[in-house]
Structure 1
Amino acid sequence: MQPFIPDADTENWHDFEVGSRREIIALLRKLSETRQTVRVAARDGGAVYVTSILEVDGDTDTVLLDRPAEQEHVLRLLTGEVSFETSLDKIRIFFGSEKLNPALQAGLPALKMAVPASLIRLQRREYYRMQTPLTNPVRVTIPLPPELGGSQAMFPLADISVGGIAILDNQFMLGDATGRDYHECRIELPDLGNVTTGLQIRNTHDITQLNSTTNRRLGCQFTDMGRGAAAAVQRYITKLERERNARINGLG
């Protein structure tokens, strides 16, 4: 099956398709080794669940995945096609499966799928996303319209790129906001000050964690952003990259 890309500009998605079985297995193994979070959703557009790749076996052509705690979530994922989204080294990766099956890994419940025949690896600069800190998170303040109370609300960021941000709306304050524009939003960038930009909500996903709590993640595109604000965002991304590289090299 073709990988499913829920929110990206997919006009030329085939330019980023990986069809080499050896390369696909290597990418999946690196995702497993680095314990990257993988978002999985039923193809019908249902809720999104968080999982991770436990094991990749090239001999049997199988991939083992961590299994959601709630049985109803497991059953939903076993009913048909599913889509996966994750990232590796700032590159977004999409793949799919026609069928998941129950399995065991080291005696513990897991899910099993075939190694995908292809995947999408989006390498364009606007899709390079850096995760923002979990402790002392970066926050954005969004002016709410009258129907949502007319005040301002503050949301933590999940990640940031030169093209937009992902925010966490764990209190579900924004409702079903896909396609809505918010103006004069203020992002507080540590050590760089505040930047003001418009945001357009491009997608929303309800993510069920392995502990069964549900969070809402909203992907937002920058709109009406001035050059100074865009430069500040790029400087902050560079700062995050330096800090990440320092940690990797044991210097931070």
Structure 2
Amino acid sequence: MQSTNDSDIESWHDFEVASRKEIIALLRSIGEKRQLVRMVIRRGTEVCVSAILDVDPDSNTLTLDGSADPEQHRRFANVGRMAFETSLDKIRILFSSEEVQATTFEDTPAFTIPIPETLIRLQRREFYRMVTPVSNPVSVVIRLAQDAGGGTHVFPLADISCGGIAILDNKLVLGNTIGHSYTGCRIDLPDVGAVQTTLMIRNSVDLTLLNDKTNRRLGCAFVDISRGGLASVQKYITKLERERNARLAGLA
């Protein structure tokens, strides 16, 4: 399961569910199927794995399993804002709360929060990664800080999703520090337009090519992409899917 933070939830308004009846049904299904729920605090620096124990519309409370570590349980109960991430039938579910309270449920430690007024439901297409075509490549322009050499550099993309991109850094310019962010990046989407966003490095893999040269693949998440930017990314992904399906149909 991918990591999440408040910026994820704030960026995906287009996938927001606001129907109370639907939210309650989703939460109950997550609990009945015993899906794990990741409780995330401090922008992802600490995570507690939990599960939904009860959904009570009458008292407007959602009860989740507590931490087995008493100290962690105490920290999570007093943290304030918390992000939650889970899945249901391969659909990613995100929500958050600023009213987390410690309680007990059937004599075991638990947390309660108000039933969220909204949540984010991401179908597979929203975070499915599409390989970008070599024939019409996608590039991202990144400006480096002065202590990293400065200047702007152009990098090709390996793939793209509504959650982020994979960059090919064959000159090893960017470094591979997990969590490092680059602001003011511009992704040029062919036939769609340019998208501005901050990119945060989430993973790094060094690849040895057939000519023994090293290429670095950096998985980067969108941090503050606008709703319009996200819509452009989705439009481009849909375009790639249509082109792929047309090629497959031609080969059938």
TM-score scaled by length of structure 1: 0.51
Which amino acid in the other structure matches residue 15 of structure 1?
D
CA distance in structure 1 between the partners assigned to 2:208 and 2:51 by the alignment: 33
CA distance in structure 2 between the partners assigned to 1:199 and 1:87 by the alignment: 27
Would the aligned equivalents of 1:67 and 1:74 in 2 still touch at CA under 8 Å?
Answer: yes
Which amino acid in the other structure matches residue 104 of structure 1?
T
CA distance in structure 1 between the partners assigned to 2:9 and 2:95 by the alignment: 16
Cα distance, 1:14 vs. partner? 1.2
Number of aligned residues: 151
Cα distance, 1:126 vs. partner? 4.8
Q: Show the counterpart of 2:105.
A: 105
Cα distance, 1:202 vs. partner? 3.6
1:124-146, Cα deviation, whole Å (9 max, x unpaired) = 515259xxxxxxxxxxxxxxxxx
Would the aligned equivalents of 1:91 and 1:128 in 2 still touch at CA under 8 Å?
Answer: no
Would the aligned equivalents of 2:39 and 2:84 in 1 still touch at CA under 8 Å?
Answer: yes
CA distance in structure 2 between the partners assigned to 1:184 and 1:50 by the alignment: 33
Which amino acid in the other structure matches residue 15 of structure 2?
F
Would the aligned equivalents of 1:54 and 1:65 in 2 still touch at CA under 8 Å?
Answer: yes
1:70-97, Cα deviation, whole Å (9 max, x unpaired) = 1221122112110001111111110011
Cα distance, 1:56 vs. partner? 0.6
Q: Show the counterpart of 1:169.
A: none
1:39-93, Cα deviation, whole Å (9 max, x unpaired) = 1112454311100101111111111111111122112211211000111111111
Instruction: Please identify the structure whose Cα radius of gyration is greater.
Output: 2
Q: Residues 185 and 127 from structure 1, CA distance in 2 versus in 1: closer, same or farther, beyond 3 angstroms?
A: farther
1:85-117, Cα deviation, whole Å (9 max, x unpaired) = 111111111001112111121222211111011
TM-score scaled by length of structure 2: 0.51
1:227-252, Cα deviation, whole Å (9 max, x unpaired) = xxxx9xxxxxxxxxxxxxxxxxxxxx
1:125-173, Cα deviation, whole Å (9 max, x unpaired) = 15259xxxxxxxxxxxxxxxxxxxxxxxxxxxxxxxx969xxxxxxxxx
Cα distance, 1:5 vs. partner? 4.7
Would the aligned equivalents of 1:38 and 1:52 in 2 still touch at CA under 8 Å?
Answer: yes
Q: Show the counterpart of 1:53.
A: 52
Q: Show the counterpart of 1:242.
A: none
Is it true that 1:23 corresponds to 2:22 in the alignment? yes
Cα distance, 1:10 vs. partner? 6.3
Cα distance, 1:200 vs. partner? 2.2
Q: Residues 199 and 30 from structure 1, CA distance in 2 versus in 1: closer, same or farther, beyond 3 angstroms?
A: farther
